[in-house]
């Protein structure tokens, strides 16, 4: 196994130092002899060293929708973006509502080898919202599932949500809610407001998200269980979570890269590339979500990477699928929206894109960046330059950033001490593609 001596990296954008990796873990740089044949030296001058990134919200589409993405292609896209761990959502075909499927996804992730793939289990059987899925079986399986979500659907029945929260609290699990009141959003296409009226598209009102978040926070406080809110997108949602945290509620929340950068005006041309759920909101919402991440109301950034084949986007707006790619550009969007605007430091980025998502997901090895003896999960990001965002590794091309320049580039990623990205190219690891 190759050892690496990484010289002059800027650790979390702060002090410049060397890092060393040997036998899969971080070691003292002075213990590596750079003249040895099995030691590769990397000049990391100007690169920001971050801990390997952890995504709490990824759609890998396997099993069942392999034409959109597979565990392998999604893992490569993740590695290209600096990730070393992703949580795979349960809305596959079949749905990941039993231990057979969650353990399958876990095994496919291990075989791919680029990142740790942590399956998310469904809350309800078939994502149908009525009967609890095999939560205990999934939690006790090989994958030891800790995050449960019907994402794509909202667990809208209050009693089902209460029972799910109670169940997962018995083993330290968390329910990740896709907050969308189904009755308030029937047929909804874009954010509800003046723009949806003028375009003649059915609106998705902010209150449909906020009402579910408020209810679920009350249920979490009542049951004592942990609640996580997926892709929070409105100014009102930020305020509700802020108040709940001030009371001490055990709630965490995520923002997506697209809700940190893109606004509803992009949908004015009826291009389905900008169709996503929850929808792109107003500039005021974007600024509130950014502020929420900056002040800790929103705990993490999670991609909601949602690959769709061309035919699912190359059609009329109201027939198109919801969702956008995110893994390959999350760090660049975060740099543009939060770092270059002065809202976050790189150390903050390490918290919202690595340490805290790992904590929420119950993933070990991310407690302290670059700790000697810890698994070497590392991302080396070059913050300079900017370019049009391209998606090189996902099987899908629903890229909403294709006409937007984004700053920075991910140069190297190491997962368990194995280089998965070298010089911004994903390294072939030998698994069949």
- Residues marked as catalytic: 304
Nearer to Zn ion, 44 or 321 (CB): 321
The CB-of-306 to Zn ion minimum distance in angstroms stands at 6
How far is it, in rounded angstroms, from Cα 267 to Cα 425? 32
Q: Which is nearer to Zn ion, 229 or 244 (CB)?
A: 229
Residue positions counted in the chain: 433
- Of 254, 304, 328, 359, the residue at the interface with Zn ion (CB under 5 A) is 304
Taking the least distance from each CB to Zn ion, the nearer of 325 and 419 is: 325
Phi-psi sector, 270: left (phi>0), alpha (psi -120 to 50), beta: left
CB contact at 8 A, 98 and 90: no
Q: Contact 84/116 with Cβ under 8 angstroms?
A: yes
Cβ-count burial of 242 within 10 angstroms (0-12 exposed, 13-18 middle, 19+ buried)?
Answer: middle
Taking CB under 5 A as the rule, does residue 18 contact Zn ion? no
* CB 375 to Zn ion: min, Å: 27
What is the arrangement of strands in the sheet containing 174-177, beginning at the earlier edge strand?
147-148, 174-177, 226-229, 251-255, 300-301
Residue 419 DSSP SS3: strand
Which residue number, 10 or 91, has a Cβ lying nearer to Zn ion? 91
In angstroms, the Cα distances linking 100 to 86, 151, 152, 332, 364 are 19, 19, 21, 36, 23
Cβ proximity to Zn ion: between 209 and 304 the closer is 304
Nearer to Zn ion, 22 or 256 (CB): 256
As measured in angstroms, the least distance from the Cβ of 322 to Zn ion is 8
Q: Is 69 in the site for Zn ion (CB under 5 A)?
A: no
Nearer to Zn ion, 179 or 426 (CB): 179
Exposure string over 31-66, b if 16+ CB within 10 A, otherwise e? ebeeeeeebeebebeebbbbbbbbbbbbbbbbbebb
Q: Which is nearer to Zn ion, 323 or 408 (CB)?
A: 323
| DSSP type of residue 339 | I
Q: Kindly state the smallest distance separating residue 122's Cβ from Zn ion, in Å.
A: 13
Size of the site for Zn ion (CB under 5 A): 3
Identify which of 83, 270, 112 has the alpha carbon closest to the alpha carbon of residue 189.
Answer: 270
SS3 at position 321? coil
To Zn ion, the closest distance from the beta carbon of 41 in angstroms equals 40
At closest approach, how far in Å is the CB of 89 from Zn ion? 5
8 Å CB contact between 161 and 155: yes
* Residue 308 interacting with Zn ion (CB under 5 A): no
Site for Zn ion in 170-229 (CB under 5 A): 178
Residue 151 lies near Zn ion (rule: CB under 5 A): yes
- Min. distance of Cβ 209 from Zn ion in angstroms? 10
User: Which one, of 101, 119, 224, lies nearest residue 165 by Cα?
Assistant: 224
Contacts of 367 (CB under 8 A, 6+ apart): 355, 358, 374
Distance CA 143, CA 139 (A): 7
Q: How far apart are CA 63 and CA 229, in angstroms?
A: 25
How many other CB atoms are found less than 10 A from the CB of residue 284? 11
Q: Are strands 203-204 and 174-177 parallel, antiparallel or unpaired?
A: unpaired
What is the smallest separation between the CB atom of 70 and Zn ion, expressed in angstroms?
A: 17
Give the Cα separation of 236 and 239 in Å (integer): 5
Place of tokens 């030296």: 41
CB 365 within 8 A of CB 377: yes
Which residue number places its CB atom closest to Zn ion? 178
Q: Two tokens at 163?
A: 């029972």
Contact residues toward Zn ion (CB under 5 A) are 151, 178, 304
């Amino acid at each position: 196994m190759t050892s690496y001596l990484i010289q002059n990296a800027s650790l979390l954008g702060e002090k410049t130092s060397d890092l060393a990796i040997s036998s899969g873990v971080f070691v003292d740089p002075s213990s590596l002899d750079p003249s040895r044949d099995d030691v590769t030296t990397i000049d990391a001058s100007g690169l920001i060293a971050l801990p390997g990134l952890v995504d709490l919200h990824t759609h890998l589409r396997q099993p069942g929708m392999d034409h959109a993405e597979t565990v392998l292609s999604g893992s490569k896209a993740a590695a290209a973006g600096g990730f070393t761990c992703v949580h795979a959502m349960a809305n596959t075909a079949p749905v990941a509502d039993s231990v057979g499927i969650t353990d399958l996804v876990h095994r496919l992730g291990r075989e791919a080898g680029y990142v740790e793939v942590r399956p998310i289990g469904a809350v309800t059987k078939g994502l149908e919202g009525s009967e609890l899925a095999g939560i205990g079986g999934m939690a006790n399986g090989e994958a030891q599932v800790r995050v449960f979500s019907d994402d794509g659907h909202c667990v809208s029945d209050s009693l089902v949500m209460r029972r799910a929260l109670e169940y997962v609290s018995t083993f330290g699990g968390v329910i990740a809610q896709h907050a969308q009141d189904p009755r308030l959003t029937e047929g909804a296409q874009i954010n509800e407001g003046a723009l949806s009226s003028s375009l003649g598209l059915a609106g998705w009102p902010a209150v449909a998200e906020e009402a579910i978040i408020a209810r679920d926070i009350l249920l979490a406080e009542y049951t004592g269980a942990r609640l996580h809110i997926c892709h929070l997108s409105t100014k009102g949602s930020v305020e509700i979570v802020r108040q709940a945290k001030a009371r001490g509620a055990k709630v965490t929340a995520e923002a997506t890269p697209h809700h940190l950068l893109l606004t509803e005006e992009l949908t004015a041309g009826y291009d389905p590339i900008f169709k996503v759920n929850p929808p792109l909101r107003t500039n005021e919402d974007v600024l509130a979500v950014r502020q929420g991440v900056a002040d800790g109301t929103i705990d993490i950034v999670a991609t909601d990477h949602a690959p769709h084949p061309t035919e699912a986007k190359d059609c009329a707006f109201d027939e198109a699928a919801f969702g956008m790619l995110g893994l390959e550009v999350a760090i660049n969007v975060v740099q543009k929206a939060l770092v270059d605007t002065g809202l976050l430091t790189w150390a903050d980025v390490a918290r919202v894109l690595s340490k805290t998502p790992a904590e929420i997901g119950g993933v070990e090895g991310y407690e302290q960046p670059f700790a000697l003896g810890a698994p070497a999960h590392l991302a080396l990001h070059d913050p300079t330059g900017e370019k049009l965002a391209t998606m090189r590794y996902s099987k899908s091309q629903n890229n909403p950033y294709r006409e937007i320049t984004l700053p920075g580039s991910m140069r190297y990623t190491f997962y368990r001490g194995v280089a998965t990205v070298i010089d911004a190219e994903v390294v072939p690891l030998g698994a069949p593609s």
